């Protein structure tokens, strides 16, 4: 039974690590978006307001995927092990 609990906890830890990898994508995407926005503003300074507004909206939407990954990682670290261990112990009884 201890082995089963250990495997369960290891699975939760691995899943949390994989969920937190989701933060890489938004970081790369937001950096690219800001770079392209600065390039557009450099070419046409008069459109600074619309480019900045669109860039900020896009970055906010892109950041939600990173936040979802963080929430899933936190749930897998702190909430899921207790629930899964209780299910396992009830199934064994």
Taking the C-alpha atoms of residue 81 and residue 74, their distance in angstroms, rounded to an integer, is: 11
Would you state the pLDDT for residue 25? 87
Q: 10 Å Cβ neighbour count for 22?
A: 16
pLDDT in tens, 59-80: 999 899 889 999 999 999 999 9
Q: For the chain, what is the mean pLDDT?
A: 91
The angle at the Cα of 60, spanning 39 to 29, to the nearest 5 degrees, equals 50
């Amino acid at each position: 039974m201890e082995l089963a609990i250990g495997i369960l906890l290891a699975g939760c830890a691995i899943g949390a690590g994989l969920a937190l990898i989701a933060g890489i994508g938004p970081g790369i995407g937001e950096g690219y978006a800001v770079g392209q926005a600065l390039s557009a503003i450099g070419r046409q300074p008069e459109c600074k307001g619309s480019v900045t507004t669109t860039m900020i909206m896009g970055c906010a939407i892109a950041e939600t995927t990173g936040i979802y990954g963080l929430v899933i990682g936190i749930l897998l670290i702190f909430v899921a092990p207790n629930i899964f261990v209780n299910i396992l112990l009830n199934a064994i009884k």
